[in-house]
Amino acid sequence: MAVHYNCAKCNDRLCMHKVPIFSTLDKDDLRKIMGLINHHKYKKGETLVFDGDPMDSVVIINEGSVKAYKITADGREQILYVFSEGDFFGEQNLFSGQASTYSVEALQAVKTCNLSRKQFQELLYRFPEIAVKIIDELGNRMTRLENALQTIGVRNVDNRIGGILLEFAEKYGTKNEIGTIIHLPFSREGIANYLGVARETVSRKFSQLENEGVIHSLNNKEILIPDMGKIEAIAGFH
């Protein structure tokens, strides 16, 4: 179960400094906010929030990553977001008081910083620049959703695979002389549920790309891409 702890060594490096929405605040303000924060730890596979749960706090990911997803009536999972270090969720529900519209599950060991609804609202009034940051971040997230909708809607699976590789390369990739190495945030099944296709289809497409020399699987979670240009072509960016 989720462990609630008040970390002794929770210094400035942790939590706040990683979080873009607090980036405009100075050290003193940060120190004040620190006191308001609750910390939680979750193991891989644990659920932070269930779809439909009432949300009474904003959750900021401090370490690790999580997936936000919905389950349909017939049991299929559609992944909406992967939140990593510095990302936050739960903000939509603060004003309207709505229940969560998705479930959130830890993809690895995860540490979070939680701010209660009340505390968060007070922050917004005290530091209006945070509201601007949030509107900005929500805008980014909407743009990503819009792109995802386009990618999935237009339904050519090759494009979608290319698209996810580009997205992950940017977020989780490291470049070296021989190419870009992507550390995938989740399994083939996860990728499938992110793209809205069957697990086996992902396997087949990856095999095909491997045969064509476009990607090289190092292991189940890491792939090497010698030439990102080819991926861009596959994603449909002429």
Partner DNA sequence: CGGACCATTGATAATTGTCAAAATTCGTGG
Partner DNA sequence: CCACGAATTTTGACAATTATCAATGGTCCG
**Site residues, a copy of itself (CB under 8 A):** 70, 72-74, 76, 78, 80, 91-93, 95-96, 101-102, 125, 128, 131-132, 134-136, 138-143, 145-150, 152-156, 159, 195-197, 236-238
Size of the site for DNA (CB under 7 A): 22
Instruction: Decide if residue 204 touches DNA (CB under 7 A).
Output: yes
Only one of the segments 50-58, 94-102, 169-177, 181-189 lies at the binding site for DNA (rule: CB under 7 A); that segment is 181-189
Q: Is 174 helix (H, G, I), strand (E, B) or coil?
A: strand
Cβ-defined contacts of 217-224 (< 8 Å, 24+): 218/181, 220/184, 220/187, 220/188, 221/183, 221/184, 221/187, 222/181, 222/182, 222/183, 222/184, 223/165, 223/181, 223/182, 223/184, 224/178, 224/179, 224/180, 224/181, 224/182
Give the residue, chosen from 88, 120, 194, 206, that forms a contact with DNA under the rule CB under 7 A.
206
Of DNA, a copy of itself, none, which one does residue 146 interact with (CB within 5 to 8 Å by kind)? a copy of itself
Q: How far is it, in rounded angstroms, from Cα 55 to Cα 185?
A: 25
Place of tokens 């939590």: 15
**Shortest Å, Cβ 109 to DNA:** 12
* Closest CB to a copy of itself among residues 25, 94: 94
Q: Which does 109 bind (CB under 5 to 8 A by kind): a copy of itself, DNA, none?
A: none
197 sits near DNA (criterion: CB under 7 A): yes
Burial degree of 30 (CB within 10 A; 0-12, 13-18, 19+): middle
Q: Taking the complex as a whole, how short is the minimal distance between the CB of residue 147 and a copy of itself, in angstroms?
A: 8
Rounded CA separation 230/66 (Å): 29
Q: Does 221 bind DNA (CB under 7 A)?
A: yes
Tally of CB atoms within 10 A around 117: 17
Q: Which does 199 bind (CB under 5 to 8 A by kind): a copy of itself, DNA, none?
A: DNA
Q: Position of tokens 């743009």?
A: 143
Compare residues 11 and 156 and give the one whose CB is closer to a copy of itself: 156
Q: Tokens representing 29?
A: 């303000």
* Closest CA relative to residue 19, chosen from 37, 5, 2: 37
The burial class, CB within 10 Å (0-12 / 13-18 / 19+), for 142 is exposed
201 binds, options DNA, a copy of itself, none, Cβ within 5 to 8 A by partner type: DNA
Q: Which partner in DNA, a copy of itself, none is near 200 (CB below 5 to 8 A by kind)?
A: DNA
To a copy of itself, the closest distance from the beta carbon of 57 in angstroms equals 16
Interface positions with DNA (CB under 7 A): 155-158, 187-189, 196-204, 206-207, 217, 219-221
